[in-house]
A and B are shown apart, each in its own frame.
Chain A
Amino acid sequence: MQASVIEVKHLYKAYRSAAGDFPVLKDVNLQVLPGDYVAIMGPSGSGKSTFMNILGCLDMPTAGSYVLDGYAVATMAADQVAKVRNQTIGFVFQGFNLLARASLLDNVALPLVYAGVSKEERHTRARLLLEKVGLSKHLDSHPNQISGGQQQRVAIARALVNQPRLILADEPTGNLDSTTSEEIMAIFDGLNQEGITIVLVTHETDIAEHAKRQVRFLDGCIVQDTGAAIAKASGVDHV
């Protein structure tokens, strides 16, 4: 049996406010196997982003367990979590989140700085990835000089530069028109075919249809899961 990339059990998340605790995630369970391609859907405010941030080790759950690639995130030291964010996960944001002051090449190479990679190799790898997403002509441009679709390509290149096992994307096409969205999704499809596990959040059904599996959130609970194709195939009982 294959070890899961993501294994989330009885996950709770509540935001503390003056009016008392406000639960956002209530007993979420999810298992994602290597090579899976999951689209998370659901109405606004249902907790999708909160869940993604926890998966991306940017946020911590209030209760419940999250095992990533065999390691319980809750037990990791801060530096280990940083290493996971650096090398295991590639996170793609709706708002791209590029560094405005840095060139595209430097933006893509930045995770390699934190991985301790030498300068030549950083540039070689960053250039390679920018070529892969079709931006080889813009290496020295700055984020404000290119279109939104191009910025998202850069963000994807940056997410890929450390060869992560898992790509997490929170509404990666949320700020893009439908043609550009299709182009971005084509990149994700290709990555999944290369074997990278992908979890993405989207509001649009045609985007979600690129994925192999659709999960629906409502009020902090998973209310529908088309199931892991791989899990079914390999006979693993998913939750």
Chain B
Amino acid sequence: MFSAMLGEAWHAMGANRLRTFLTMLGMVIGVGAVVLMMAIGQGAEASVKRSISAMGSHLFVVLSGPPRMGGARTATGNAPSLNVRDANAISELYGVMGVAPVTMGKGQVVYASNNWNTDVIGTTAEYMDIRGWGLSAGYAFSASDTRSATRVALLGKTVVQNLFGDDGEVDPVGKTIRINQRPFVVLGVLDSKGQTLDGRDQDDTIIVPLTTAQRKLFGNQLPGTVRQIMVQAESDNVMSMVEEALNSLLNQRHNIREGADSDFSVRNLTAIANSAAETARTMSLLLGAIASVSLLVGGIGIMNIMLVSVTERTREIGIRMAIGARERDILMQFLLEAIMISIVGCLIGIVIGVTGAVLVSVFTQAEVIVSSASVLIAFSVAASIGVFFGFYPARKAARLNPIEALRYQ
């Protein structure tokens, strides 16, 4: 009996194709929008999460220069206020696991006839551990390289591609490149890290020993000064304690009295990253919510058409009742029709949403994720909308008085 009703619902849908299609369109657009928006939102969330784990965990960065309001501008003056001795002092603090002083600048890199402009980071061997950054080839430099300021370099993937070509035929390890005209031996190739939260390519980087950078690349700086110090805490639990200790230690070392402006700033990168993840999640939810409104509108469209359909088919309902249809048979018939419209609309919507998501990822390079959960949610929401908005018209049909329905012209 149920299958007979399904068949009838299917026929009823086919009886007025244009109208059915238009009714469905609301559902199609709604579901398509939900699937697409959730794909974009979840993609953003995932890429944020990946950048966070690529950044390293429970990290602080201490920047030279006074703290500026309004975020992550390079608050580094011409004369960096931090130095290697600050870094050494920080490493003595309780709860600190690793410290890496960092200085950086632009470098023009040349290998054979290839030329590339990239960021050069001068730091200690510990930097790699703090950032959780591995090597895909060769090996990292050691403390002795830092001590003796050897001309060795670790290349990011993007740099390798630009200097040695994409095909991987030339092994960069052991080759000599020139950075700002000075020869450097390539010690290793860095693992790919992808983009940062703000979209910079982290693989477009060269890492050299701190001392080498200070003395041989960016020679105009005061000896021993660094632009920033990366600090890794032992665990999430000690983050706030370490932050306080950092501030008081550096204030003391830099002779900054209480209430005076400090010449450094401490940023909790993990907190910033977490809030970015939170933002991405909120955005994802918001997009979904906005898209759901169109589902609601689609549902109202279905209800509207079902009401029209019940009125138009009053006589048919009367005939069915006269030959023995119970109230619940009529109810089921119209409910099934509404559900079928929304489910078919939903399926089309899913196809369109997924196609849209693929197109978005192809054309914008943004990451999109179509999860089975989002498809399932869209599907079940659509089905419940069919039930919810189909119920009132169906009940109206079922409650008709048979003789009045039969008399209806």
Contact = CB atoms under 8 A, between A and B. Distances in A.
> Majority SS of interface residues in chain A?
helix
B327 A85 contact: no
Nearest to B316: A99
A78 B323 contact: no
B326 A114 contact: yes
Contacts of B325: 82, 86, 114
Contact of B319 (A56, A86, A99, A119): A99
B329 A114 contact: yes
Contacts of A53: 403
Contacts of B402: 58-59, 85
Contact of A111 (B11, B318, B323): B323
A85 B322 contact: yes
Contacts of B373: none
Contacts of B403: 53, 58-59
B324 A87 contact: yes
B55 to A, nearest CB: 64
Contact of B324 (A85, A98, A101): A85
A110 B323 CA distance: 8
> For the side of the interface on B, what is the size category?
20 to 34
A97 interface: yes
Nearest to A110: B323
Interface in B298-325: 315-316, 318-325
Contacts of A162: 324
Interface in B1-26: 1, 3-5, 11-12, 15
B406 interface: yes
A91 B12 CA distance: 25
A58 B323 contact: no
B327 to A, nearest CB: 6
Nearest to B329: A114
Given A101-B15, A113-B4, A83 B316 contact: no
Interface string A85-102: 111000101000111011
A82 B319 contact: no
Contact of B323 (A101, A114, A116, A122): A114
A125 B174 CA distance: 90
Contacts of B11: 101-102
B319 A114 contact: no
A21 B1 CA distance: 42
A178 to B, nearest CB: 27
Contacts of A99: 316, 319
B1 A116 contact: yes
A213 B184 CA distance: 120
Interface string A141-157: 00000000000000000
A99 B323 CA distance: 12
B279 to A, nearest CB: 54
Interface of B: 1, 3-5, 11-12, 15, 315-316, 318-329, 402-403, 406
18 contacts: A59-B403, A79-B327, A82-B321, A82-B324, A82-B326, A93-B322, A93-B406, A97-B318, A99-B319, A101-B12, A110-B320, A111-B324, A114-B323, A114-B326, A115-B324, A119-B3, A122-B4, A162-B324
